[in-house]
Structure 1
Amino acid sequence: MTTALANTRDAPPAPTSAPRPEHAARRGGVLHALQGAPAFGYIGPNWFASVMGTGIVAVALSGLPIQIPGAGVVAAGVWVLAAVVLVVVTLATAAHLCLHPRTAASHLADPVMSHFYGAPAMALMTVGAGAMVAGYRVIGSGPALIVDAVLWTTGTAFGLVTAVLVPYRAVTTHEVREDSAFGGWLMPVVPPMVSAATGALLVPHLPAGQPRETMLLTCYMFFGLTLMVSFVMIAFIWKRLLRHGPGPAGAVPTIWIVLGPVGQSITAAHHLGQVAPTIVPGVYGKGFQGLTLVFGIPMWGFAMMWLSLALLLTLRTARDAHHGLPFTLTWWSFTFPLGTVVTGTSALAVVTGLDLLKVAAVILFAGLALAWVTVFVLTLRGVHSGRLLTAPVR
């Protein structure tokens, strides 16, 4: 399972006449790593997690409940980086689809890699939302709105497909064992929650009346979709942890993915609740607004519990004298899920004005920034060496 999380499992092996790509990667970097290996042969949907993890830093920094000098400029710069990474990964994925369609098609049949098809949708919407809250400093408010509208629409459509198609394939074709559940199961069903949270930014820009109310209530439908499915998935993950432990070291970072729907649901409840009273008539608008605290505070408590559990399991694995915690693309699970907890905590801090939540938001963001810098640097190093561009060792 861990090799599939790190790279594409179903890519064809290197020809026997050429050195094994992973050995070549150690000797001479990208060019040597690709000798005897098909160009763009090992690009999976999990690469979009790097876009998610980078984009959420810009969004989280922009929403902190305290003023930090220069934060807006830094957030805009990180957003530009996220947009560049999105373009690069999208082009690489397009090349992979064109040059290796059979390998690309096999990703959906893979019981691990298929779940990461939720990543492209969330990557698109994260960069879109970042344009509205940070990128407008670079491209202007008008273009930022257009970028967000396009990326949100595209990401939402793709996310709704993955939320149905991937579980359908898991039910009908994948081999699912008692110990198969892992954090990645949440990836294809979380995009609608991201649609709910980021869609709130677009609601005020729609014409008043039916268009605005339809958008708002549709976002709440997305909220419910992911929330209910996440409850089921998290129960399976919890059962697996209790009966089988955290699993292989390479899969431990995916435990953090549980924080994604939790933190994003708090964020969505706040963002939608802020605009609801002006759109939904009577007491119902106030009810949606009240959901921010009625729902958000209890969920924040669960988020802190799961964050503590995930951190302890990660540290325990990292201290393992024999294997430790080897770097793979699953390390991006340390970024986006934690980022959603930052945005959710910041939202609650703004509503309540509690210093406790303000301090918590800053501390959590510091952890997010540290995780992002670490994973981004290690990813660049892995790409430069060629290790992340070659077929996994079987």
Structure 2
Amino acid sequence: MGTGIVSVLLYSIPFQAHWLRILSSIVFVANIALFALVFGASALRYALYPCTWTLMVHHPVQSLFLGTAPMGFATLINSFVALCIQHGQWGPWAQTFAWTMWWIDVAASVATCIGMPFMIMSAHKTSLQTLTAAWLLPIVAPIVASASGAVVASELTDPQHALWTIVVSYVLWGVGVPLAMVILVMYFHRLAMHKLPPREVIVSVFLPLGPLGQGGFGIQKLGAEAMRVFPRTGTLHPLAGDVLYVAGLGVALVLWGFGLVWLFFAVGSISGSKFPFNMGWWGFTFPLGVYALSTITIGEELPSLFFRVLGTVFAVCVILLWMVVVAGTAKRLPSGRMFDAPCLRTAGEPTAKELAIMKRDEENQQSEDQTCGFAQP
């Protein structure tokens, strides 16, 4: 996700140069390799050790990161559309390929967004004090898929296909954004009642920027595509697309302003904290990246030099931060201490129910031994 959003930002910066597009292509290729490696290793792990899947799904924290898979895949789709279709001019087959990949991403996003909250309700043991912003991860997945749908629809030559994509994307936006707002209310209540998270997971305070930034970017792009496609397909009123476009920009500004509040909370939270480098540092990149992307898009649509410059500043900060995190990860990677599977810490240990049964059987056995005169000292 973090590497993918850097590739997207490099070709989205308003003040473009040819070398930025070359860098974006390099990062895009690197992200393809990274995604294939991580996804392949994960699939192999669960295929060889099926029990680890059950342990992971029932873990109250690690299971939430399932949402990162479709989100990371969506960044590949966006970069493919921009670099290979818009500027590479790869032809109709590339449009079909991108559209197919998007539908796969939609299915994975919806399954994650609906499945994980249900697991939280039915199987996980949670409390308000242990709630973190990681609860947003499965919820953000359909919001990211919605924004990707707008990007894919912009390159579809068939108006009906583009219309289906836009309508489904609006539904995905409606699935993710309101639910994310519910989680944000709960998370704000948790911060107010139980203070900031532990320093090991303090970086998670940046995660609320994800649904707000991506939601703002997506609703703007969907409005622009609705304004283009609706008149061509005779959908609703002739002015329906224009209304959605204007409304989308207004909603994006509201979400951007709300994100500004959470950005202040996040920066204030880490300003006085000393926290160790770990995989959680990757939580900086994607939320800040999509917030920068939303800022850039607002600057293009208004148009506003202020938002374009501010978005560029945000984008440069994200790229520099990504370089720091990549360097830190590469430095600590050979030691093997960068990766951790919390769900495996208790693997092989008896559960509370199993311990109770063992204790009961032991007491029954001692009672029988005493009755028969074979009690052990």
**TM-score higher than 0.5:** yes
1:292 is the counterpart of 2:248: yes
Q: 1:97 Cα shift?
A: 1.0
Q: Provide the rounded CA distance (Å) in 2 between the counterparts of 1:315 and 1:195.
A: 33
Q: Is the 8 A contact 1:256 1:334 kept in 2?
A: yes
The counterpart of 2:312, out of the listed 349, 357, 362, is 362
Structure 2 counterpart SS, 1:317: coil
Structure 2 counterpart SS, 1:353: coil
Q: Deviations over 1:89-126 (max 9, x none)?
A: 11211221122221222111011111111000111111
The counterpart of 2:145, out of the listed 195, 201, 208, is 195
1:259 maps to a residue whose letter is L
Measured at CA, do residues 353 and 206 of structure 1 come closer, stay the same or move farther in structure 2, by a change above 3 Å? closer
Q: Which residue of 2 aligns with 1:305?
A: 261
Q: Is the 8 A contact 2:86 2:155 kept in 1?
A: no
Q: Provide the rounded CA distance (Å) in 2 between the counterparts of 1:242 and 1:114.
A: 26
Q: Is the 8 A contact 2:78 2:152 kept in 1?
A: no
1:95 is the counterpart of 2:44: yes
- List aligned pairs for 1:103-118, cutoff 5 A: 103-118=52-67
Q: Which residue of 2 aligns with 1:230?
A: 180
Q: Is the 8 A contact 2:95 2:156 kept in 1?
A: no
Structure 1 counterpart SS, 2:110: helix
Q: 1:260 Cα shift?
A: 0.6
Q: Provide the rounded CA distance (Å) in 2 between the counterparts of 1:209 and 1:70.
A: 34
Q: Which residue of 2 aligns with 1:382?
A: 332
Work out the number of aligned pairs and report it: 337
Q: Provide the rounded CA distance (Å) in 2 between the counterparts of 1:207 and 1:139.
A: 16
Q: Is the 8 A contact 2:9 2:289 kept in 1?
A: yes
- Identical aligned pairs, as a percentage? 26
1:73 maps to a residue whose letter is I
The counterpart of 1:83, out of the listed 29, 32, 46, is 32
1:276 is the counterpart of 2:226: yes
* Of 234-243 and 132-141, the range deviating more from structure 2: 132-141
Structure 1 counterpart SS, 2:313: helix
Q: Is the 8 A contact 2:146 2:218 kept in 1?
A: yes
Q: Provide the rounded CA distance (Å) in 1 between the counterparts of 2:97 and 2:10.
A: 20
1:340 maps to a residue whose letter is V
1:354 maps to a residue whose letter is S
Query: Could you state the TM-score of these two structures normalised by the residue count of structure 2?
Result: 0.84
Q: Is the 8 A contact 1:76 1:137 kept in 2?
A: no
Q: Provide the rounded CA distance (Å) in 2 between the counterparts of 1:390 and 1:196.
A: 31
Structure 1 counterpart SS, 2:334: helix
Q: 1:149 Cα shift?
A: 2.8
Q: Provide the rounded CA distance (Å) in 1 between the counterparts of 2:301 and 2:330.
A: 39
Q: Deviations over 1:153-179 (max 9, x none)?
A: 222111100111100010011111121
Q: 1:279 Cα shift?
A: 2.1
2:150 maps to a residue whose letter is A
Measured at CA, do residues 205 and 136 of structure 1 come closer, stay the same or move farther in structure 2, by a change above 3 Å? closer
The counterpart of 1:213, out of the listed 163, 166, 176, is 163
Q: Provide the rounded CA distance (Å) in 2 between the counterparts of 1:121 and 1:385.
A: 29
Q: Is the 8 A contact 2:81 2:152 kept in 1?
A: no
| CA RMSD between the two structures | 2.0
Q: Is the 8 A contact 2:109 2:138 kept in 1?
A: yes
Structure 1 counterpart SS, 2:208: helix
2:269 maps to a residue whose letter is L
1:159 is the counterpart of 2:109: yes
Q: 1:194 Cα shift?
A: 0.8
Q: Which residue of 2 aligns with 1:28?
A: none
The counterpart of 2:211, out of the listed 236, 248, 261, is 261
Q: 1:187 Cα shift?
A: 0.5
1:72 is the counterpart of 2:29: no
- List aligned pairs for 1:2-81, cutoff 5 A: 52-81=1-30
Query: Could you state the TM-score of these two structures normalised by the residue count of structure 1?
Result: 0.81
Q: Which runs of 4+ in 1 moved over 6 A?
A: none
1:240 is the counterpart of 2:190: yes
The counterpart of 2:121, out of the listed 155, 167, 171, is 171
Q: Provide the rounded CA distance (Å) in 1 between the counterparts of 2:159 and 2:319.
A: 41
Q: 1:379 Cα shift?
A: 1.7
Measured at CA, do residues 237 and 219 of structure 1 come closer, stay the same or move farther in structure 2, by a change above 3 Å? same
2:184 maps to a residue whose letter is I
Q: Is the 8 A contact 1:120 1:155 kept in 2?
A: no
